[in-house]
Amino acid sequence: GSCRHRCCPGRNNACWAPGTRRAHCYCDSYCQRTGDCCQDYLATCRRAAVGCAVGPWGPWSGCSSPCGAGSRARSRQVTVPPRHGGEPCPDLKQRRGCLGQHPSCGTAE
């Protein structure tokens, strides 16, 4: 089977061509994981693929709880979105635990 002008990003079951022995071969980027790509998939589709690119991580936020257990978060932005079945974007947000220790913690009112 041949992809010709059919190159689809992600998992797209409608993006196929007739293969050998009446089986379907696929022209979506997921076919590399399942091993059922059309014979010309790499030459036809991956050549034009552009993988995702992201910027640097921003600073961590302050702790969500001024006293006791809370969480911090940080994020980053996509600088180049994926195209033509290129590598998808990694996580854009991270979260981690923290312990708020504001000076007023533990003081009676």
Say if 101 falls within a structural domain: yes
CB 97 within 8 A of CB 71: yes
Is residue 85 a part of any domain in this protein? no
State residue 77's pLDDT score. 96
Q: Residue holding tokens 């050998």? A: 20
CATH of the domain at 67: 2.20.100.10
Instruction: Give residue-wise pLDDT tens across range 10-56.
Output: 888 898 888 877 788 998 888 988 999 998 888 888 766 678 899 99
Strand partners, 54: 78
- 109 has pLDDT over 50: no
Is 0.95 topped by the overall pTM? no
Q: Are residues 59 and 101 in the same domain?
A: yes
